[in-house]
Every structure is written in C-alpha cells, then in structure tokens.
Amino acid sequence: MATSALDTIERGIADPISADGPLSPDMLRRMHGYWRAANYLSVGQIYLRENPLLELPLTIDHIKPRLLGHWGTTPGLNMLYVHLNRLIAENDLNLINVIGPGHGGPGLVANTYLEGSYTEHYPAIERSRNGMHRLFRQFSWPGGIPSHVAPETPGSIHEGGELGYSLAHAYGAAFDNPDLIVACVVGDGEAETGALATSWHSNKFLNPARDGAVLPILHLNGFKIANPTVLARIGRDELTDLLRGFGHEPWFVEGDDPAKVHQQLAGTLDAVLARIQDIQAKARSGKGPIERPRWPMIVFATPKGWTGPRFVDGLPVEGTWRAHQVPIASFDNPEHLRQLEEWMRSYEPAELFDDDGKFREDYASLAPTGHRRMGSNPHANGGALLRPLSLPDFRAHAVPLPEAGQTKAEATRVLGGYLRDVMGFNLDARNFRLFGPDETASNRLEAVYEVSGKVWMAEIDSVDVDLSQDGRVMEVLSEHLCQGWLEAYLLTGRHGLFSCYEAFVHIIDSMVNQHAKWLKVTKAIPWRKPIASLNYLITSHVWRQDHNGLSHQDPGFIDHIANKTADVARIYLPPDANCLLSVADHCLRSRGYVNLIVAGKQPEWQWLDIDEAVRHCTAGAGIWEWAGDEGEPDVVMACAGDVPTLETLAAVTLLRDFVPDIRMRVVNVVDLMGLQPQSEHPHGLGDREFDALFTADKPVIFAFHGFPAMVHKLTYRRTNHHNIHVRGFKGEGTTTTPFDMVVLNDLDRYRLALDAISRVPRLSAQVPAATARYWAAIERHKLYIAEHGDDLPEVRDWRWSR
C-alpha cells in the first residue's frame, strides 16, 4: 500500500500518512484498514442487497428498495471501536462500550462481525461472502435486525432508539464491577436531553475503589438530524468549563485527517487509561479516605458522515447535518449510483477481504480475543453472570396478627426491615442496590441504613447522616438517574429495587417503555440469558399525599405498565404489610419482568397473617371469608389496593349495621393482571375461577386504587362485566385529609355502602333512607374537617369488627 494525498485519505481509500503518535506506521496502516473495513460494512448494510464485495459493477438491482439506517455518526463510532480494540488487546482490559448515538447500529454490527462475535452469536452470518451477503441483507430488512444498537446487537446493553440514557447506563454497568471499564459514547444530540444532561453527575456516586470506571466519550459530531448541536456551537472554552464543571478532565481529539486523528486518539486513550489506572490504584491502596477524583473523558470531534460523499446534488454532505441519515437517498439518478460505487470502492474492499469474503488476517488479528472482544464480553449479556440473591425469610418480618383489622402497621416500614436483611445477606456478593430519588427514608425504608449507607462521593459534612462512600443505597433527586442506573445494573446481571413516589414515577414512563421492549425482544434471542426483573415499589401514593396535594396525586403508572406486553408486565397491589412482604419476595426472585408494586407507607390496619398473606398473594385474588357471608351473596364488595381495601371493609361494617340481612362477599385482588382473561395474560384467572369469585350475575362494587377505567379494560370480556361498578381515582385531589381524598373521589365507605344497596334489587326500598344517610355522613364529614382540619374521629379511629 502506497501512501497517498490527503484528499484521497479523507475518502478513506488508502493508508494514512503516519503522523507523530504512539502508533507505528504498520500499526497505523492496519488500524486504518480495520476502520475502512468497518466503514465498508456499514455502508454495505445500509445500501446493498446483492453484490456485497462489489465483484460486479454496481447496478440498481443491488440496492435495497428501502434505505434505512444512519450513516452520520457511524464512521466516528467505527474509529472508536477500532481504537478501543487496540486498548483492550494491548492492556488485556475488561471493557464494554455503551453507544449513545444509537442510529449508528450498522457500525456496531460491522465491528462485532469483524471481530467474530457476531458470527458466534448468529452462525448463519458467516465470515465469508455468503455471510456478508446475509449481513447486508438482514439489516433493516423485514424480519432482519433493527437499524439501531439493540438487544440483537452482541455487546450491547443499550437500545439506541430513544436518546438520553447512555451515560446513566454506563454507570449502572460500572457499579460493583471494579475490573470493568465502560466506555460510553455520548452523542452531542443526545447530550441535549434532560436525562443525559444530569447523568454527568453520576460520577459523584461512583467509588473508584469499589466500582469500575466509566470513560465518557462525547462524540462532537456537530449535527443532529436537522440542526447543529448546542455543545458543538458554544466554543471550546465554554465546553471545557462545562465538562470540568461536571467533574471531568476533558481530552480533546479533534480533526478530519484520519492519520492525525488515529495518532491523537491512540495517544489520548493511552493517557486516559493511565489516568484511570492511577485513580484506581490510589483509591484501592487503602490509604486514607478516597477523594472524588477528576475522571478523564474524551471529546471526539470528527466530521459527521466522515469519509462519505462530500457533495450530493451539489450540496455539501460530509461534515453537515445532511450526512445524518442516508447521504445518497435515491437512485433515480445514475450519478447517484456512480457516487455510491465510488464511495464504497474508496474503502478498497478487495484489499480488506479475501476472495471468499473473509476479513484478512493482517487486520483481523488486531481484535481482542474471546471474552475480551466487546461483542462477547459477558457483562453485556448480564443474565449469563446472574447469581440469585440470597434472600432472608420474609416470614421473619411478618406483622403478628391475632385478628384481622386490629393491628396497624406501616407496610413499607415493615418491608424496610426485610430489605435491610436482603441488603445484609448480599453485602459480600455485592449484587443488590436500592434506588430512590431522595425518598428512601420518606418512603420508610430507612432500616436499610443499618447495614448500608447512601453512596456519596462528593463532600461530606458533619451534619450528614447515613452517607457513605461504600453505601449501596443510591439517592439522587433524579428519577431518570435512578431508573437508568438500575436498568444497567440489572442488564449486567445484578439485582435491585426502585422506590418512588407514585405520581413522579411518570418521569421515567418513556424509559420503562424502552426497558420493557428490551425485555420482550430478548425473550426471543436465545443467547440473551434472563436478567433480574425491574422492581418498582410505588409508594407515597395517591390516597395518602396529605402534605402535598394534587401535584403529588396520580395513579396512572398502573395504566402505563398495563399497556406493556403480557410477557413482561406484572402489577401487584398488596392490601397490607404481610402481603407486601410476600409480593416483594416473589418479585426479587423473578426474572425478566417489570414488577410494579403499589403499597402505602402510612399506618394502616392489617388484615392477613403471614400464612394467609402468602396463600392470598399466590392465588392473586381471593374471597376474604372472614369478612363476608357464606354462600351466594347479594353483592360482591371487591377491592384492590390498601386504601380501597380499608374503605371496602369499613363499608361492610356500615352495611351490617344498616342492612343486617344483606349477604356480602368480600373479594380482594393483589395481582391486578389476574383480572384479565387467561388468553391475554398468563396471570389471568380462568373464566370459571373469575366467576367463582365475582359471580356470574351479582352486582360487584369494586374499590380500586387507580383510575376506574383500568378495571373495566381488564374485565370487559368477563361474564359479569356489566355488573361491575368501579370506584377509583377520578382526578380530584388537593392538600387535604386522608379521608377527604376518598370522599372527593367517591371511593369512601359511605359511597361504597350506598352503591351496594343501590345495586341489590331486593333492597330497593331502602335506597332512599340509605341515600339520606350517605348525605348526612358526607355533610358531617365536611363540617368537621372545615372546623378541625382533620378527619372525623369515627373515621380516623375506625377499626374492623365483624
């Protein structure tokens, strides 16, 4: 290979002139060749359905009918991959990468193919002409693979479709993996998102002694799909300030001359690795407290669509937003075909691949081997590393219960004791963390601090409590960070639980969408091993936001999760502390789900002893015989959720007093998906089971924690659906008393009792008197709270009696 003029080099066709830097001329030549190969395969995936090695002159028949995928960021990602390969191979590193600019899917597929990982995961994609043909064709082809980095991409723990989560994912992967380095390419478009913008602060939560390292690489490509990026247009000084303000030491690698950039990038990677190793050595020396280091990071400023067409139809493409997607988008013009062929041939495929299409050993031998390859690192297939949690006996935490409704407990505080033991039992395994946005204590789980503090690597002051550099509780006022960290912690084979205020968990609606999709897709990928479930404890819920009012009142996350596919979504509404223990134990053992647990933190009456609780939660729903009458009822009093259960049982006592001969059945639902038909959800009760609980023809008064329509949506196919009358949250709220909240939403005991009487035909004569009693009770309530600012004693102090 001869050296050639700069212009030629910039098209990527020949070898670069060796500029000063750590790479020998031969190494530079080989790395450059590897990069050309990755670029060639990337363009091929986007464009070609036939003629993968360009053995024939390119014709329109070789081009895919639909051109998808993104070229713009790909050459930059490819260069980084080649250089990380060198770093890994030379230093025997345990390193994975997280790719924020996800539209660069073809580059990651290309690189894992070149290193052999891809073929090991997908044997049909051989390292040959045939394999390359299939590789090209499957990309963005129906039944093929997506155009982003995705679950299908070996080596990825990150779906590249929705932008913003790369850096939080990188940190989640690094926690408790002291030997792991996570390189994280952050797109400069992605950097504008809220989630990414706050993710930089993750470095205040990473302990260099205990955790691995994250190496952020800001890919300053300059453009989004249609605009420049903010960070590319604030000048280098302001950008440097910003990155230093995030606690980093930025190293700039910048240019459009591949030779110079190769050398600069190689030298920079060597330097930042040394810096990381220094930081870790110092932190791990055991000498004195650890100071939060200024972690290195790289700003990688290279042209968008580098080595692609400079101009198309007379308009500049390379280095502009026009290179973001497909630089040449149509082939109705023969000049376009010529330009694509020229572009692809500029990488000199025949020089890179042998006659059979195999990547030549001269280049291929640069890649790391075995599990050191980024596409084969087991950390990126966390299920393969997953060890079950060592779980304490949750029964040991049970609230003793001589009789239903005679003891109060704070459900989440009881759970906190159990979680303390979960934390304690797994301290040595270092594979369990608890996540929450400044709310662990507010949610009454603070017993965990007895065994582990909150991790905090920023400054610590004498008034601080429960902070610790070794803590395993993750608190930051960002639901995005809690979610992103936890997702990646799970994706790399560990366990966790996210406790959150019910209303504000909507902040991560979109993130859980993506994680749920990841779980769904991976169930069909044989080499992806199951990971631990994503467990939510949603508390400080809609019915007990005494302090906070309407802004804090929203049970819609149930609806959001219920829209996820049935192979992923699980929703539990334990009615009391013992049920919460049973549900939590089940969720921590489960794999591959999104488990949503909704439970209150306030002192509430307890209903089931631990054995009853286990039986009830295992069944998912059941008749509470002790609370109702035997045999065929006049009315079914159904409930799901702790406050609705309380109101239902209070309604039952009111009814006993007012209509002594009414025959009631009390049904409590823990596992919400049990309401759906079995055809829709694996937890669905069979139709006969459902009818056995809810009857085929009796009125059902259903008190529900969330929006009432959810119950209708789940039960509309059931025999007795037209008899199901649901009360729940209808959007009314304010800062008020607990009981006033249920009154505002017609979920109160008086309303439920009136509903019951109104729906039983044989009691129709009693409806006028019951209605009068209802209004009298509501009037008494309103007068009392206006005067006293608190609930009526008869409501506040009510307890169950049969």
Site for its own copies in 55-114 (CB under 8 A): 64-66, 68-69, 102
Query: Quick one: 100 or 154, whose CB is closer to its own copies?
Result: 100
What x/- string results for residues 167 through 186 when contact with its own copies is judged by CB under 8 A?
A: --------------------
Please name which of 619, 655, 618, 620 lies closest in space to residue 636, comparing C-alpha atoms: 655
Q: Does residue 333 belong to the site contacting its own copies (CB under 8 A)?
A: no
Q: Which of residues 119-138 bind its own copies (CB under 8 A)?
A: 137
For residue 13, what are the CA distances in angstroms to 40, 132, 327? 10, 20, 18
Q: Does 515 sit near its own copies (CB under 8 A)?
A: no
CA distance 584 to 478: 24
> Applying CB under 8 A, does 370 fall inside the site for its own copies?
no
Helix (H, G, I), strand (E, B) or coil at 472: coil
Q: Which of 299, 312, 467, 670 binds its own copies (CB under 8 A)?
A: 467
Query: Binder to its own copies among 478, 582, 653, 720 (CB under 8 A)?
Result: 478
Estimate the share of the chain in helix, then strand, then coil, as percent rounded to the nearest 5.
45, 15, 40
Of 169, 260, 494, 520, the residue at the interface with its own copies (CB under 8 A) is: 520
- Which tokens sit at 665? 């059945």
Of 278, 285, 311, 316, which one interacts with its own copies (CB under 8 A)? 316
Residue 166, interface with its own copies (CB under 8 A)?
no
Distance CA 358, CA 396 (A): 61
**Is 310 within 8 Å of 318 (Cβ atoms)?**
yes
Choices 16-24, 108-116, 236-244, 356-364; region in contact with its own copies by CB under 8 A: 236-244
Q: Is 5 in the site for its own copies (CB under 8 A)?
A: no
Q: From CA 649, how far away is CA 628, in angstroms rounded?
A: 9
- Which residue carries 């159904």 as its tokens? 638
Q: Is 452 exposed, middle or buried (0-12, 13-18, 19+ CB in 10 A)?
A: buried
Which of these, 237, 248, 243, lies nearest to 296 by C-alpha position? 248
Distance of closest approach, residue 694 Cβ to its own copies, in angstroms: 15
Residues 375-414 that bind its own copies (CB under 8 A): none
The one segment of 395-403, 409-417, 644-652, 705-713 that binds its own copies by CB under 8 A: 705-713
CA dist 461 and 467 (Å) reads 10
Nearest Cα to 501, choosing from 549, 436, 558, 455? Answer: 436
Candidates 274, 460, 692, 769; binder of its own copies (CB under 8 A) is: 460
Q: Which is nearer to its own copies, 531 or 558 (CB)?
A: 558
Cβ atoms of 575 and 541 closer than 8 Å = no
Confirm or reject binding of residue 742 to its own copies (CB under 8 A).
no
**Stretch of 473-481, 608-616, 629-637, 690-698 contacting its own copies, by CB under 8 A:** 473-481
Of the candidates 714, 755, 710, 748, the one whose C-alpha atom is nearest the C-alpha of residue 732 is 748
Among 42, 85, 147, 156, binds its own copies (CB under 8 A): 147
**Looking only at Cα atoms, what is the longest distance across the chain?**
102
Cβ nearer to its own copies, comparing 140 with 492: 140
Beta carbon nearer to its own copies, 242 or 619: 242
**240-269 residues near its own copies, rule: CB under 8 A:** 240-247
Residue listed under structure tokens 């400054």: 459
Nearer to its own copies, 502 or 576 (CB): 502
Out of 291, 335, 342, 464, point to the residue binding its own copies (CB under 8 A). 464
Of the candidate residues 41, 476, 500, 537, the single one contacting its own copies (CB under 8 A): 476
Nearer to its own copies, 464 or 779 (CB): 464
677 lies in the site for its own copies, by CB under 8 A: no
Select from 531-539, 648-656, 728-736, 746-754 the region that touches its own copies (CB under 8 A).
728-736
Residues near 146 by beta carbon (within 8 Å), at least 6 away in sequence: 105, 140, 152, 161
CB of 139 to its own copies, least distance (A): 9
- C-beta atoms surrounding 761 within 10 Å: 8
| Encoded tokens for 428 | 């040595």
Give yes or no for residue 682 binding its own copies (CB under 8 A).
no
Nearer to its own copies, 546 or 629 (CB): 546
Sole binder of its own copies in the list 378, 424, 530, 556 (CB under 8 A): 556
Q: Which of 719, 617, 635 is nearest to 672 (CA)?
A: 617
What is the pattern of x (binds its own copies, CB under 8 A) and - over residues 273-302? ------------------------------
Tell me which stretch binds its own copies (CB under 8 A): 8-16, 333-341, 395-403, 515-523: 515-523
For 160-260, strand residue ranges (E) read 180-187, 213-219, 248-254
Contact between 528 and its own copies (CB under 8 A)?
no
Q: How many residues sit close enough to its own copies to count as binding (CB under 8 A)? A: 127
Burial of 766 (0-12, 13-18, 19+ CB in 10 A): middle
Helix (H, G, I), strand (E, B) or coil at 787: helix
Q: Which is nearer to its own copies, 387 or 788 (CB)?
A: 788
Compare residues 576 and 740 and give the one whose CB is closer to its own copies.
740
Q: Which is nearer to its own copies, 79 or 474 (CB)?
A: 474
* Cα–Cα distances in angstroms (integers) from residue 646 to residues 342, 450, 584, 699, 750, in the given order: 74, 32, 21, 20, 12
3-state SS class at 481: helix
Provide the mask over 481-510, with x wherever binding to its own copies is found by CB under 8 A and - wherever it is not.
Answer: x---------------------xx-xx-xx
329 binds its own copies, rule: CB under 8 A: no
Sites for its own copies among residues 205-234 (CB under 8 A): 224-230, 233-234
The reply to whether 160 sits near its own copies by the rule CB under 8 A is yes
What ranges make up the beta strands (E) of 319-472? 408-410, 432-436, 454-455, 467-468
CB of 710 to its own copies, least distance (A): 8
* CB within 8 Å of 309: residues ≥ 6 apart: 317, 318, 327, 328, 339, 343
Reading the block at residue 529, the tokens are 């091993």
Q: Under rule CB under 8 A, which residues in 783-802 are in contact with its own copies?
A: 785-786, 788-790
Decide if residue 330 touches its own copies (CB under 8 A): no
The C-alpha atoms of residue 313 and residue 745 are separated, in whole angstroms, by 63
Task: Report, in Å, the least distance between residue 452 CB and its own copies.
Answer: 15
Q: What is the dihedral of CA 260, 263, 269, 274, to 10 degrees?
A: -130
Q: How far apart are CA 265 and CA 77, in angstroms?
A: 12
Scanning 87-95, 139-147, 591-599, 681-689 for contacts with its own copies by CB under 8 A, the matching segment is 139-147
Does residue 158 interact with its own copies by CB under 8 A? no
Site string for its own copies, 413-452 (x = CB under 8 A): -------------------------xxxxx----------
Query: How many Cα atoms occupy the beta-carbon half-sphere of 305 within 13 Å?
Result: 26
DSSP 698-751: S-EEEEESS-THHHHHHHTTSTTGGGEEEE---S---S--HHHHHHHTT-SHHH
Q: Which is nearer to its own copies, 137 or 773 (CB)?
A: 137
Q: Map the footprint of its own copies across residues 638-657, applying CB under 8 A.
A: none
Does the protein bind its own copies through residue 746 (CB under 8 A)?
no
Q: What is the DSSP string of 739-764?
A: HHHHHHTT-SHHHHHHHHHHH-GGGG
Cβ 82 to its own copies shortest distance, Å:
26
Give the binding range for its own copies (CB under 8 A) out of 92-100, 273-281, 530-538, 733-741: 733-741
